[in-house]
Amino acid sequence: DQQVKQNSPSLSVQEGRISILNCDYTNSMFDYFLWYKKYPAEGPTFLISISSIKDKNEDGRFTVFLNKSAKHLSLHIVPSQPGDSAVYFCAASRNNNDMRFGAGTRLTVKP
């Protein structure tokens, strides 16, 4: 069973607006969550992470929110820029091990 799910395969937003990428997980033992950005024929590039002891982590235009009770996390990008267009993967790990990836969401930011 997919333990980490990204139910939206694609998302399109206008430049300057907010992009919200969502991710759900099923395993309550996950204690560390990450977002990656990926271009074709490259490995996913780490973007931002959050520990399960927090509910928010912010880094510039990127903010990750964690709702443990709902087993849900989201990545907010504001303002969105055309260079943000890529596939975004969320991932979850347990004890810094056993990382599981979601299937990814393709974000397109239109100028």
Partner 1 sequence: EPEVTQTPSHQVTQMGQEVILRCVPISNHLYFYWYRQILGQKVEFLVSFYNNEISEKSEIFDDQFSVERPDGSNFTLKIRSTKLEDSAMYFCASSAGALQETQYFGPGTRLLVL
Q: How far is CA 106 from CA 19, 29, 56, 83, 86, in A?
A: 11, 27, 23, 13, 6
Least separation in angstroms between CB 63 and partner 1: 22
- Binding status of residue 2 toward partner 1 by CB under 8 A: yes
Q: How far is CA 91 from CA 35, 99, 110, in A?
A: 6, 6, 26
- Binding status of residue 35 toward partner 1 by CB under 8 A: no
- Binding status of residue 64 toward partner 1 by CB under 8 A: no
Q: Which residues contact 32 (CB under 8 A, 6 or more apart)?
A: 49, 50, 51, 52, 92, 93, 94, 96
Least separation in angstroms between CB 86 and partner 1: 9
User: Count of residues for the chain?
Assistant: 111
- Which of 31, 38, 52, 57 touches partner 1 (CB under 8 A)? 38
- Binding status of residue 51 toward partner 1 by CB under 8 A: no
Least separation in angstroms between CB 107 and partner 1: 11
Strand partners, 46: 36
- Binding status of residue 33 toward partner 1 by CB under 8 A: no
Site of interaction with partner 1 (CB under 8 A) = 1-2, 6, 9, 36, 38, 40-46, 87, 89, 98-101, 103-106
